[in-house]
Amino acid sequence: ERIAAAPGPRGGIFVRLRGTKERVPLGSFGDGTTRLFSLACNLISVQGGLLLIDEIDTGLHVSTMLEMWAFLFHAVKEFDVQVFATTHSDDCIRGLTEFLRCDEDARGKARLFRMERGASTMTSYDSEEIVSTSDAGIEVR
């Protein structure tokens, strides 16, 4: 609900959850929450611009991939940001695929590029192709 930076030598970022009065250190929620918070701050800071994210899934548990993509698509729409993200994770791509299946508004707004090792060209997949290749059991990462 609220986020605050604490001054001083032991400062840090604290959050207050809905329905509570206590502030809790952001770090106590784990690396995944800290990573998503950082992603949110970066999205806000480049409003109307471009954000490059290397290994977007780093620090996130496999079970959060769908929610991460949902958050990302909502945020890029709200803050008018174009995102280029890399991953080597099949779980991350599966999360994107599931998100595209569930959210018709997101279709047409995602593109995946695959570059073979040592190749100088890429294969491009639009949203529909991401879903259909996944349905066919073809790996695109």
Q: Is residue 65 part of a domain?
A: yes
Q: Is residue 100 part of a domain?
A: yes
The answer as to whether 140 is a domain residue is no
141 falls within a domain = no
Is 53 part of a structural domain of the chain? yes
Instruction: State the pLDDT at residue 135.
Output: 85
Q: What does the mean pLDDT of the chain come to? A: 89
Structural domain for 41, as ranges: 2-135
pLDDT digits (tens, 9 = 90+) for 76-108: 999 999 999 999 999 999 999 999 999 988 888
Q: Is residue 32 included in any domain, yes or no?
A: yes
Which CATH number characterizes residue 32's domain? 3.40.50.300
CA angle 68, 141, 50 (to 5 degrees): 50
pLDDT in tens, 38-56: 999 999 999 999 999 999 9
pLDDT digits (tens, 9 = 90+) for 98-137: 999 999 888 889 999 998 888 888 999 999 999 999 888 8
User: How many domains does one find in the chain?
Assistant: 1
For 1-30, write each residue's pLDDT tens digit: 556 666 555 668 888 888 888 888 888 888
Q: Is residue 122 part of a domain?
A: yes
